Amino acid sequence: MIESERNSLGIKIPIVYKDEKVAAVSSPFIPPKASAVPEQSGKKPDYVLELGSEMITSSSHSSGGHGGHGVPQPSAGSTRWTINGKSYPDTEDIRIKVGQPVTVRFINKDVQPGHRMDHPLHLHGTKFQVVSLNGSRPAREMWKDTINVPAGEYVDVTFAITNPGEWMLHCHIIDHEDGGMLTKIIAQ
Ligand SMILES: [Cu+2]
């Protein structure tokens, strides 16, 4: 920002330098209270979602047809991105009860030679606790709404949805999302 713009906004920040030694002070950061979902670490997942992809051939394209959903059909030679082998809108909904904690495992099986792909999974409507990275508990309590699932690895997350409705769960890479790596979580 140039000086005149700064003046027009009325911003004045005086910076005074002093040639003095200042004693080190401890950080005012206070770690938040633990809010882990109880009994989730080490629990078997309620849902397992395998992430993958598949090259669309002209035959798979012509046989696929789910027109009427308003979803643009991918063309032959492009990639279909999948959850448990299916692309949205054919992916299976996850139906859960409002307020009930569920654990979902994302397994990234997108490991074909020359096509290893990470998938950053993003959940709408709530945050989730990361309870396992490849079967190991994270070193600290970890809450996110997006978690990268590296090729060949798996991640378990636990969440409870407090607002009823349909919430999207999808890869945050737009091509992957548009190509079908999306499902709905229906909380009732
Ligand atoms: Cu992806």
Residue partners of 21: CB distance under 8 A and separation at least 6:
none
Question: What does pTM read for this prediction?
Answer: 0.76
* Distance in Å, CA 37 to ligand 1 centroid: 27
* Distance in Å, CA 52 to ligand 1 centroid: 9
**Greater model confidence, 165 or 67:** 165
SS3 content of the chain, % helix, strand, coil (to 5): 10, 35, 55
* Distance in Å, CA 93 to ligand 1 centroid: 18
pLDDT at 24: 79
* Distance in Å, CA 86 to ligand 1 centroid: 14
Place 114 in a pLDDT band, splitting at 50, 70 and 90.
Answer: confident
Structural domain boundaries of the chain?
A: 42-58+68-187
**Greater model confidence, 66 or 109:** 109
**CATH number of the domain at 42-58+68-187, please?**
2.60.40.420
* Distance in Å, CA 49 to ligand 1 centroid: 13
* pLDDT tens digits along 132-181: 999 999 998 999 999 999 999 999 999 999 999 999 999 999 999 999 99
**Contact, 74 vs 181, CB < 8 A?**
no
Tokens, residue 178: 């548009």
Strand duo 154-159 + 119-123: pairing: unpaired
- E-strand ranges in 67-142 read 79-83, 94-96, 102-108, 111-112, 115-116, 119-123, 128-133
Cβ atoms within 10 Å, residue 167: 19
Mean per-residue pLDDT for 67-93?
Answer: 81
Cβ atoms within 10 Å, residue 98: 12
Rounded distance between C-alpha atoms, residue 99 and residue 164, angstroms: 9
